[in-house]
Amino acid sequence: MRYLHTMVRVSDLDASLDFYCAKLGLVEVSRTENQGGRFTLVFLCAPGDEAAARQNKAPMVELTYNWDPEDYQGGRNFGHLAYAVDDIYALCQRLADAGVTINRPPRDGHMAFVRSPDGISIELLQAGERKAPAEPWASMPNTGVW
């Protein structure tokens, strides 16, 4: 058995691609539009995983966009998507500059949380050794919701 992907339903595909790709840095691997089912599937992977992802050999996120609006509430049992990142401070700064709320700032140089436009929690973990505490992150308050 091998882990393949996590599917999340999104209410606005353009806003979700702006968040997951333009801001978070994921890369679109494939896109399928299903006219009969009235939905679009977009598979995303981490940068550098494209070739493996095209062979279904790298973890992906599957965005499902239903063309007819639905109410995606609840699902509190779903926790988060987690990524190891090369520089958690630089990524959080890029996300903050792009208007993304850093719900749990990387005060420990190790872990941060943000949310997608649909409220999907995204965990960011510093790859390798945690970074030294640094401002503004060390004194930035949590939102308390991540």
Ligand X SMILES: C[C@@H](O)C(=O)SC[C@H](NC(=O)CC[C@H](N)C(=O)O)C(=O)NCC(=O)O
Give the active site residues.
Answer: 123
Report how far residue 106's alpha carbon sits from residue 82's, in angstroms, rounded to the nearest whole number.
14
Report how far residue 29's alpha carbon sits from residue 71's, in angstroms, rounded to the nearest whole number.
27
Q: Does 7 bind Ni ion (CB under 5 A)?
A: yes
| Residue 12 per-residue DSSP state | -
Positions touching ligand X (CB under 6 A) are 7, 9, 37, 39, 41, 62, 64, 66
Q: Does 90 bind Ni ion (CB under 5 A)?
A: no
- Considering only the stretches 46-54, 61-69, 80-88, 98-106, report the one whose residues sit in contact with Ni ion under the rule CB under 5 A: 61-69
Q: What is the signed CA dihedral for 132, 133, 137, 139, rounded to 10 degrees?
A: 180
Q: Does 98 bind Ni ion (CB under 5 A)?
A: no
- Asked if residues 47 and 25 have their Cβ atoms less than 8 Å apart, the reply is yes
Q: Which does 41 bind (CB under 5 to 8 A by kind): ligand X, Ni ion, none?
A: ligand X
- Considering only the stretches 26-34, 58-66, 79-87, 102-110, report the one whose residues sit in contact with Ni ion under the rule CB under 5 A: 58-66
